[in-house]
Structure 1
Amino acid sequence: MELRLVLVEPEGRVNFGYILRLCRNFGVGDICVVRPKFDLRDPEVLSFAAGGASLVDSVRVSESLEECLRGVDYSVCTTAVAGASDDYLRQAVSPWAIPLLVPRGSKVALVFGRESVGLTRAELASCDLISTLVTPSDYNVLNVSHAVAVYLYELSRALTTEAVVGERCSSDYVRVLMKYVESLGTALKLSQDEVSAVKHSVAKAMLTKPECRALYKLLKGALALIRRSPQQE
């Protein structure tokens, strides 16, 4: 798994410095930052980055999350608010499950939100997977640099063998399935949250190639039937 770390509108110089240090610790050189609220080369940042200070020169600054997600196979948005039974969008997986769900060799964007309010619902909906940290207490809101540390550690322990026997479905094929899910959602007048929930379910399914082909036929056939129905004319 190849990681890209994405930070959306980071607000704290100290946190960003610590995150650069963590990226150096875990060998993450692909870092994209959306509209930072401070100068990335601020002396305070470089001081807390310690041995990771050299990474600041390779950090990409973007105007949108969409730009930071270009070129990856899968994206994982993190949130402290997850699991509510009535919220389609916030059905999440633990960090240790990510390497099991994503095919080996994939390029994965790991997205962290603002220190103050996290990620918006629109930003969460733009990701393939939603992930959260489960803690023994009822308070799982971590400092962002601490959360990054936990995720990078868990992902560094990725299994060396696949969790599924058989060749996994390619990311390009999964993207095609996602497009059909979106089209079906539009035809059935589902809400955006419901469509996102179905897309997240597909991303979590660990589909093999034969399973992808079967699901493709099902989605394509269902969409064709709906479009031919009298109500669609």
Structure 2
Amino acid sequence: MTGTEPTADETPTTRSIPAVAVVDAQTPGNVGTIARAMKNFGFEELLLVDPPELDPDGEAYGFAGHAREDVLPNAQEISFDELVSSYHTIGCTAVTNEGDHNHVRFPFSTPRDLAQRLPTVDADTAIVFGREGVGLTNDELARIDEICSIPASADYPVLNLGQAATITLYELREMTLSPAGTQLPDLERVRASQPLLERLYDQWDELLVEINHPEEKREKTARMIRRVFGRADPTTREVNTFLGVLRRATERPDQEE
């Protein structure tokens, strides 16, 4: 592992992308899995407290995918004392079981909550994950600035370390990835113009007349159609497609001689 370890007397600088810290992981494969999730969702800085041996030919690099090229070899080994003194820390835990009478595991946020708030935190930030078996201890959590927990079934809320990191980093991805930086196209929808939508509603009205829909029901039916399309926010192409279908239906081609 390479990189310069942060020291307790360094002044933190503003960070838009949190670091990811793993405390006392027992299995190299989980470190590799977390590195891979970081690569998937645009995180770069991996901090390791008391890590296992990470053999370049071993399990960690085997599980890391393309993160073996940068995230994993650039990981920094750091002590827990240095972590909590140099970063604004968010400790992830599956078990809360506390209310406002005790603040070791309370209050807590979900990863989705953090995604909304962390961009406003003007400090170096680290998302901290604990051991595979027991996670972060109460003594460690007591020194953490914030607590994060993933909503899960009360019957079995404990997630695998790699799963927990993957879910959390996925929820925080908007801090690291722009729409242009994902494999998905820009999903912004442009609603069809209101005049085009009015043509669609007029075409529906013509169809209701053509099929002899009961006259006393036409006004209510037309209103329902308007509400459905109003909620759907159809695009120009979608509206034009519906217009073509409705015109054909209104012309009743099956009745042509």
TM-score category (smaller protein) = 0.5 to 0.7
Cα deviation, residue 98, structure 1: 1.2
Aligned sequence identity (%): 30
1:113-152 aligned at under 5 Å gives the runs 113-152=130-169
Q: CA offsets, 1:56-81, max 9 Å, x none?
A: 2210112x212124443x21001111
CA distance in 2 between counterparts of 1:42 and 1:128 reads 36
CA distance in 2 between counterparts of 1:60 and 1:103 reads 23
Count of aligned residue pairs for this structure pair: 158
3-state SS in 2 of match to 1:153: helix
Q: Aligned-residue CA RMSD in angstroms? A: 2.3
Cα deviation, residue 40, structure 1: 5.1
Distance verdict in 2 for CA 1:102–1:17, change over 3 Å: closer
1:17-166 aligned at under 5 Å gives the runs 17-39=32-54, 41-54=56-69, 55-62=71-78, 64-72=79-87, 74-85=88-99, 86-91=101-106, 92-104=108-120, 106=122, 107-157=124-174
Instruction: Indicate yes or no: 2:24 matched with 1:5.
Output: no
CA distance in 1 between counterparts of 2:97 and 2:109 reads 9
| Paired letter, 1:125 | A
Residue ranges of structure 1 left out of the alignment (5+ in a row): 159-233
Cα deviation, residue 157, structure 1: 3.5
Distance verdict in 2 for CA 1:71–1:40, change over 3 Å: farther
3-state SS in 2 of match to 1:76: strand
Which residue of structure 1 aligns with residue 186 of structure 2? Answer: none
Residue ranges of structure 2 left out of the alignment (5+ in a row): 1-15, 176-257
CA distance in 2 between counterparts of 1:117 and 1:153 reads 23
3-state SS in 1 of match to 2:72: helix
CA distance in 2 between counterparts of 1:103 and 1:15 reads 27
CA distance in 2 between counterparts of 1:126 and 1:42 reads 35
CA distance in 2 between counterparts of 1:21 and 1:30 reads 12
3-state SS in 1 of match to 2:120: coil
CA distance in 1 between counterparts of 2:127 and 2:74 reads 17
3-state SS in 1 of match to 2:109: coil
Cα deviation, residue 144, structure 1: 0.6
TM-score by length of 2: 0.56
Cα deviation, residue 34, structure 1: 0.4
